[in-house]
Amino acid sequence: MAQFTVKTNPDTDIWRKPPSANAFNSTVHALPEHTSQPLRNFQHARITVKADWAAQYDQGGILLHLSKPGLKCHGCDFNQPLKSSDHDQCKWLKTGIELYNGSTLISTVCCDNYADWSVLPVAATSTNLSEVTLELQREQDKNGKSLWLYQILPDGSGSEKKVPLREVAWMFALDDEYSIGVGAYAARPATKDDVASLGKRDGVLEVDVKGYVVDFA
C-alpha cells in the first residue's frame, strides 16, 4: 500500500448546509490515480491516516465523490484546484479522523442533498488515538444494497477485528446513474489566525496516508 502526505491550508472544508453553505475546497488526492468509474463497479476501500491534529475541526480520511453527466464536477479527478461552486449538486461521503472539542473522533459526513455528520470515539483498544484505519464495503442483504463503514483493529492474534460504525443505505440506489471518484482528503476549516494562535505559523495541516486499498469490479 502506497504512502504519501496530503497537505491543506486553513479555511478549507467539504461541507453543505442549508440555506446556502457549500464548501468543497479542501485538498484531495485521487485513489488510485485514475479517472472516475461507474458507481456500480465500486466494491471496497480502506485507508490508514495519521496527523498532528491541532485546530478545531482538523480532519483527514477518505472521500467518495459521486457525480453524473450534466454536473459541473462530472469526471473530477482532483488534479485541479477544487472550486466549491463546481460541487454544489454532487453527492459525497467522507470519513476519517476529526478533532472536535479537543478529542480525536471518527467522523463521517454523508451528503445526498445536504450534509449530515456523525462522530464516534476511536475504539478504546486503539494504541494511537491520532491514527485510524477505516474500511468502506459494499454489502447486500435481503433488504438490498448498502455501504458499510468499519474501523479496523488488530485483535492481538495477527488477525483483524471490524468494528461497525455506520450503514449508508442510499448510495447504491444511484448505481446506474452516477460515477464515483475515490480520494484521500485533508481539511482545516479553522481560519489562518486561529491556527496561528496555536503556534502553527504556516497554518498547513499535513495528513499522512500510511496505506490504502481501492477495489473495483
pLDDT in tens, 81-113: 778 888 888 999 999 999 999 999 999 999 999
Confidence (pLDDT) at 186:
98
Average pLDDT of the residues of the chain? 92
Supply the pLDDT for residue 32. 77
Res. 14: pLDDT tops 70: yes
> What local confidence, expressed as pLDDT, does residue 154 receive?
83
Residue 1 pLDDT > 70: no
Q: What number is the average pLDDT over the span 56-62?
A: 98
- Nearest Cα to 206, choosing from 191, 187, 193, 192? 187
The domains of the chain, with CATH numbers, are 4-216 (2.60.120)
Contact 107, 63 (CB under 8 A): no
CB under 8 Å to 157, separation ≥6 — which residues?
Answer: none
Confidence of residue 124 (pLDDT cuts 50, 70, 90): low
Q: Output the pTM of the full model.
A: 0.94
- Nearest by Cα to 83 from 98, 95, 71: 71
List residues bridging with 10 in a β-sheet.
188
Q: Cell numbers at residue 178, please?
A: 452516477
Other beta carbons less than 10 A from residue 155's beta carbon: 10
- Better-scored residue on pLDDT, 35 or 114: 114
pLDDT at 125 over 70: no
What distance in Å separates the CA atoms of residue 130 and residue 146, rounded to the nearest whole number? 28
Is the pLDDT at 59 greater than 80? The verdict is: yes
Share of the chain above pLDDT 90, in %: 78
Distance CA 86, CA 189 (A): 19
Strand partners, 145: 140
